[in-house]
Amino acid sequence: MAERFSKLLAEWYKDAGKSGDAYATLQDELKKMFEELGKRIESPPDPPGVAKACGDVTVKYEAGGEKQDKKICKTLLKTIYWMNGIDENGKPEVDGSPPEERYLKQHLRCIVGYSAMVEIMKVKCDVKDVMKAVQSAVEEKIKVGGNELLNNKCGPIKLEDMKFSAQILGKTLGEWVRQMNGLKGMMSLYLTWKMCPSNVTWEHGKIEEGEDGNKDILQLLEEKKAGELHKKVYPQGSPTSAPGGSTSSEDILKQVLQKAQSCSSGAQNGKMEDCLKEKLELGV
């Protein structure tokens, strides 16, 4: 499960990560990503097509003048735009950084975006209409400056990628959730809205490892499996799990990057990726 991440990490480390503090560099990048995503979610305007995509979502849950179904639909789509590198105007952003840096950043953006969506959706019940609208939107092509499907860059991310990468990056995600709740903005509402029908016993979906392993993350959310996905991705003791876990999650990424220099000697022989993969899997 570490294969995709270790390959990207090895390429990045060989060319960029070994200059200075690699862990601090990645942490700064992650914090920047979470800040960008928070601003994108909180701030108008919506990218072109978002209002239209969510316009037909039936409003079943409303409080304080906020139409929760439509707001959550728009928030998920704004997150998908951001994590696929599409700006507020619906146009693909141009990243001039070196390929090895760009590919790792893109992978991390996908994990950050999906992790945020899992956090938003984990307590919600009646999400099928919202997720159908989101799924329909991501099957469309970008309207401005591109010909890719909306979720082209992050569609390949599956359950195993999430389980592995998010455990490593969970500390930063946990800090972001606490920060967004502390700001008392719209995001704090999005995280707490439950969208559950009254006087009805609601059953959330269960993750089936074999059957669900190759499904899109968005499909798992549509099947009301966000709560179960959160448990799988953030087991007890991780920074974003419920309090009372039996163990304390260690900062695995920091440990691995501190030891990455020992992998460098095999870099020219293509062994660095295997070395990092082994260290990552032993850590997790």
The answer to whether position 269 is within a domain reads no
Q: Is residue 202 part of a domain?
A: yes
Residue 83's nearest CA partner among 118, 53, 59 is: 118
Residue 235: cis peptide before it, omega within 30 degrees of 0 = no
Q: Count Cβ atoms within 10 A of the Cβ of residue 44 and give its class: 0-12 exposed, 13-18 middle, 19 or more buried.
A: exposed
Write the DSSP symbol of residue 197.
Answer: -
- Domain-embedded: residue 229: yes
pLDDT at position 236 is 55
Query: Residue 254 falls within a domain, yes or no?
Result: no
Number of domains in the chain: 1
Structure tokens at 55: 């316009």
Q: What are phi and psi of 86, to 5 degrees?
A: -110, 125
According to DSSP H, which parts of the chain are helical?
3-12, 22-42, 50-54, 68-83, 99-121, 128-138, 159-183, 186-192, 209-212, 217-222, 226-233, 252-259, 272-283
Report if residue 62 sits inside a domain.
yes
Structure-token pair, residue 128: 């099928």
Q: What average pLDDT does the segment 15-41 reach?
A: 82
Most confident of 5-19, 79-93, 236-250, 268-282: 79-93
Segments forming the whole domain that contains residue 202: 3-249
Predicted TM-score of the model (pTM): 0.88
Count of CB atoms within 10 A of residue 94's CB?
A: 8
What number is the average pLDDT over the span 12-33? 79
User: What are the tens digits of pLDDT across the range 221-252?
Assistant: 999 999 998 887 776 555 555 433 333 344 67
Q: Which of 24-28, 52-56, 58-62, 251-255 has the lowest mean pLDDT?
A: 251-255
- The residue-averaged pLDDT of 158-171 equals 78
268 assigned to some structural domain: no
Is residue 257 in some structural domain? no
Structural domain includes residue 261:
no
Can you tell me the distance from the alpha carbon of 109 to that of 46, in angstroms, rounded to the nearest whole number?
19
Q: Of 162, 85, 72, 80, whose CA–CA distance to 120 is shortest? A: 72
**82 φ, ψ (degrees, to nearest 5):** -60, -50
